[in-house]
Amino acid sequence: MKFLYSHRTRAADGQEVHIRALTDALAARGHEIAMAGPGGAAEKPLSADEGRGLKTYLPAPLYECAEYGYSFPAFRRLMTAARAFGPDVLYERYNLFFHAGVWAKRRLGLPMLLEVNAPLVEERAVHGDLALKNFARKSETAIWRTADMALPVSNVLADRLRAGGVADARIEVIHNGVDETFLTEANGEPVRARYGLEGHCVLGFAGFVRDWHGLDRVVRFLAEGASGDVSLLIVGDGPARPGLERLASALGVSARVHFAGVVQRAEMPSHVAAFDVALQPAVTAYASPLKLFEYMAQGRAVIAPDQANIREILTPGEDALLFAEDGFETALAALAQSPALRQRLGAAGRETLMRRDFTWGANARRVEAIAERLKGTRA
């Protein structure tokens, strides 16, 4: 089939990883993909700090109108791509105020699959980043309801779509996954040696580092409750890093807190393999965290919040240690003190991932089946 992929993503973060992983997996199954995004497929993705542009200078209501206005040139780009490519299916990554896909669907009569990674009205309102709330709600629900099939990344998120008026028959949950390259168990010893972590229990975190991730709790744990052979390795960068470095220095544990910085995708498996305990200290209520599947693929012992979206993937005490709000440090101590527990949970987590096929290849097969079904109803 020919998939026309519509998106508004310019950040070089997990969004870009997700887009590339799914489209590469679809291409590996013999499908043709035409990308219709900012600047086209060949454009180098921007970092999180680039591309802020208008948002920095415009009042919030005007900026949100500009977001909606971006749909018009994006629609023209989609139509140009469609005329040149002749797609069978329109696949769009949902973004707030982004109506290019629904307009193209109506004009072209194409079946439309809408990937939904977050309820963006709710998310932006919580962070005080939304001015035109009524307009935003109407925008969001209009896009959700127009798609022939909405693909939320968790059942918790699917409930948000149902509350927004999307029929259950037009919702299919597809959790995130892991690239097949992560399924080969990597050697983490060279990474451990690079940071002087031989013989240490390594608490590891991978991803963009934000304050809400709660890594300050891990730094405090090192200072207050952990033995001297427990260290923290953070693979990634982000706005929370300077604060964590200052905290580690103030608490006298700088020598036990290591930052690998931004690591290329090809090097990620070996870095995750260097962890003894894989940290997911916090997660939004509806997310399907990419890092979680990467941790599981490398057989790392996962510690994560005990909440519904995480329990869709992991079972407390069987293949991960899930903690209640005030139980993080206790759970962390239990893992740090027990190599046997870490080994058991890590092996079980990997088995869960393999058994349930949380991979991008499997997700591509699911998307393919939905697209075939939609095509059949329009034949």
- Give the CATH class of 2-177+359-378: alpha beta
| Residue 113 in tokens | 């699959």
Query: What's the half-sphere exposure (Cβ side, CA atoms, 13 Å) at 265?
Result: 14
Tens-level pLDDT at each residue, the chain (379 residues) = 999 999 998 766 678 888 999 999 999 999 999 999 886 433 343 333 434 566 777 888 899 999 999 999 999 999 999 999 999 999 999 999 999 999 999 999 999 999 999 999 999 998 878 999 999 999 999 999 999 999 999 999 999 999 999 999 999 999 999 998 899 999 999 999 999 999 999 999 999 999 999 999 999 999 997 888 999 999 999 999 999 999 999 999 999 999 999 999 899 999 999 999 999 999 999 999 999 999 999 999 999 999 999 999 999 999 999 999 889 999 999 999 999 999 999 999 999 999 999 999 999 999 999 999 998 776 5
| Residue 162 in tokens | 């149902």
pLDDT at 12: 63
Report which secondary-structure segment, H or E, holds 90: strand 89-93
How do the domains of the chain map onto residue ranges?
2-177+359-378, 180-356
pLDDT at 14: 73
- Give the CATH class of 180-356: alpha beta
Domains 2-177+359-378 and 180-356 belong to one CATH topology:
yes
Distance CA 367, CA 130 (A): 32
Contact by Cβ (8 Å): 78, 36: yes
Enter the pTM of the model.
Answer: 0.91
DSSP labels, 201-234: EEEEEES---GGG-HHHHHHHHHHT--TTEEEEE
pLDDT at 193: 97
